[in-house]
Amino acid sequence: MIQCKGAMYLRYHKARRPIDLNLSKSRSRMIASEKEQGMLRQNKKIKGKIKDKLPLLWGATAAVVALGMIVHSVSMFHLFELTPDFANFYQATYLIAHGHLYPFDTVFPHNYPHYGFPFLKSHGEVFTWALAPLIWLSPSGVALLVAQDLAIAGSQLLAALCIHAILQKRGVVTEVITTLVFVFLNPWYYFAAFFDFHLEPFALLFLTALIFSYIDGKRYLAAVLAILVASTGDVPATYLVGVGLGLFLISPSKNRSALFFAAFGLSVFVFDSLFHLNEASSLLSRYGYLAGNKAPLNVGSLLVGVLSHPSIAFETLRGNAKYVAPFLGSGGVIGLLTPLGLAISAVVLMGPILVPNATFLQNYDSFQIIAIEPALAISGALVIAWTGKNRERLLAKVAEAALWLSVVSAVVITYPNLLSAKDFNATVTRGIATDLSRTLRKIPNTAEVIVANGVAGRFAARRLIYPIVSFQNIYVPIWSHTTYVVVSTQGISDPTAMQLRVISHFLLSESGSVRALINTPTVSVYEINSKSVGYYLRFPPTA
């Protein structure tokens, strides 16, 4: 019995030893796992804090961007690197601010002789009236450029905040890459500010806010923003068609109200066309080739021509397709995987891509296509957010790969366009800018001005201004007793030095009523005093 008891004792304690060892190991594993979980929770808290601070980072980035664009705009302003696109809005806002509530546009069209047309018939840009008070703050018109810069930076900030809201449950790195590459490092935002002044940047601000508001469930605010988008002109009104269709197709059962945007945008465009509120668009002359031999030339004949001879349109599409890639790559091609990104890209690009010779797909005209950039970036964020919910993570990995592919395409395809930014504005030397500034101060706002196209912008604070693209065998109307002719060889599409000498000789030989204020090889300014008005001054051929 004793032996039995001893054997039982030994067996009992031998059996307990491994149990004790296993317990100690399990305790150590439990302690280690608790430490790991604690570290994970701590890392999660840190990442959460960083995530919460990202909106402040995007706000600071947008402020730096705005400051940089304003510095560039002020420099461009002082160097007179502003063309008729700026002059068009400067003349209108100046006249509205001085009580002419139905201003007359003498800047467009470029064909002479012409008598101009009411500014409202240019593009139906009603929002211009809201900008007129800026002239009270800054009679020189520089406030218009500053407002444009703020609108562009504001649209970038809204796009960044929308991406932040969509990627709330995704990693910090994913959001930072998406926002930096496709928004703040996207060159098309900045190109839109490099060339004069337009209302498309304001349309961009309202459109980005519309998408953000609609995704956030603020449908009534989105409807108000749609009205603001349409107020910026006939071209931005078409953006609403793409946004409306895209939002609807994302969830047809929940987003039926988005069709209002598409219907409203199309209605505004048709209304502007029927009542000739898009005279400056020159739709028929630019797309007239699509109608073939149809007569008369109108929107209906264009549609009939495209349907009956689609090969004509297809050839133009194929020829211009190579110019589209940079615009899509910069905003993130991953966004094309959503109905929103695909629809707005198709609608916005359809008009420019059908214009022969890719006239509106060049860097200096990118302001007309910029609407696709925030839409693609936000759409890309939606793809990443949707695929992140996949349990097997397969789609999430595919989306991550698509994101990096989009980043590479942006760097390889789009960013080289930055090298051509220096060609946006003609280089006007400071010496010539000083001469032009001195001339501008001498010219009263009541006088008529005939000015070279490339430096016309700042001379538009008057009722009569006629920018000249080419001083060759043209007739310019003289409606004022005192008219100033300003010609510079520096600028876009301006005369050569030889042509300037011909123009100078012609003006000085016209009559004794012409007085040379400045007569140099690069800048000539003449004052014409006429007893009678209502006649045409014919410039001779200079070639």
Q: Enumerate the β-bridge partners of residue 105.
A: 117
The pTM assigned to this predicted structure is 0.88
Please state, in angstroms and rounded to a whole number, the distance separating the CA atoms of residues 26 and 474. Answer: 96
**Cβ–Cβ < 8 Å for 376, 345:** yes
**d(C-alpha 361, C-alpha 165), whole Å:** 32
pLDDT digits (tens, 9 = 90+) for 417-438: 655 555 555 578 888 899 999 9
C-alpha distance from residue 341 to each of 65, 76, 136, 206 (Å): 25, 34, 40, 17
Question: Closest Cα to residue 471, out of 516, 512, 507?
Answer: 507
pLDDT by residue (tens digit) across 326-363?
A: 888 888 888 898 999 999 999 999 988 988 877 778 77
Q: Which helix (H) or strand (E) holds 86?
A: helix 84-97
How many Å apart are CA 337 and CA 453, to the nearest integer?
A: 43
* Token representation of residue 471: 């001083």
Q: CA nearest 387: which of 440, 453, 334?
A: 334
Alpha-carbon torsion angle 348, 350, 355, 359, nearest 10: 30
Query: Cis (ω within 30 of 0) for the bond into 467?
Result: no
Of 140, 131, 119, nearest to 203 (Cα)?
131
CA 389 – CA 401 distance, rounded (Å): 16
Please state, in angstroms and rounded to a whole number, the distance separating the CA atoms of residues 323 and 18.
74
Is the four-CA dihedral 149, 152, 155, 160 of positive or negative sign? negative
Quote the pLDDT of residue 157.
98
- At 40, list the tokens: 């994970």
Angle at 462 between CA 472 and CA 467, to 5 degrees: 20
Residues 6+ apart with CB under 8 A from 52: none
Per-residue pLDDT of the chain (543 residues; tens, 9 = 90+): 445 555 554 454 544 444 444 545 555 555 556 656 655 555 555 556 677 889 999 999 999 999 999 999 999 999 998 989 999 999 999 999 999 999 999 998 656 666 788 999 999 999 999 999 999 999 999 999 999 999 999 999 999 999 999 998 888 888 898 899 899 988 889 988 888 899 999 999 999 999 999 999 999 999 999 999 999 999 999 999 999 999 999 999 999 999 999 999 999 999 998 888 888 877 667 787 887 765 566 667 777 777 877 888 888 888 888 888 888 888 888 889 899 999 999 999 998 898 887 777 877 777 889 999 999 999 999 988 888 665 556 666 776 777 777 777 776 766 666 555 555 555 788 888 999 999 999 999 999 999 988 899 999 999 999 988 776 777 888 899 999 999 887 766 556 666 677 777 777 776 568 888 888 878 889 898 888 888 888 877 655
Q: What is the pLDDT of residue 168?
A: 86
Of 128, 186, 129, the C-alpha closest to 155 is: 186
Query: Given the structure tokens 């006007």, which residue do they identify?
Result: 428
Torsion of CA 488, 490, 492, 496, to 10 degrees: 70
DSSP label at 253? T
* Chain centroid to CA 163: 19
Q: Return the structure tokens found at 222.
A: 């989105």
CB-CB contact of 465 with 448 (8 Å): yes
Taking the CA atoms of residue 531, residue 534, residue 535 and residue 538 in that order, the dihedral angle to the nearest 10 degrees is 110
Give the start-to-end residue ranges of the domains of the chain: 55-81+141-423, 430-539
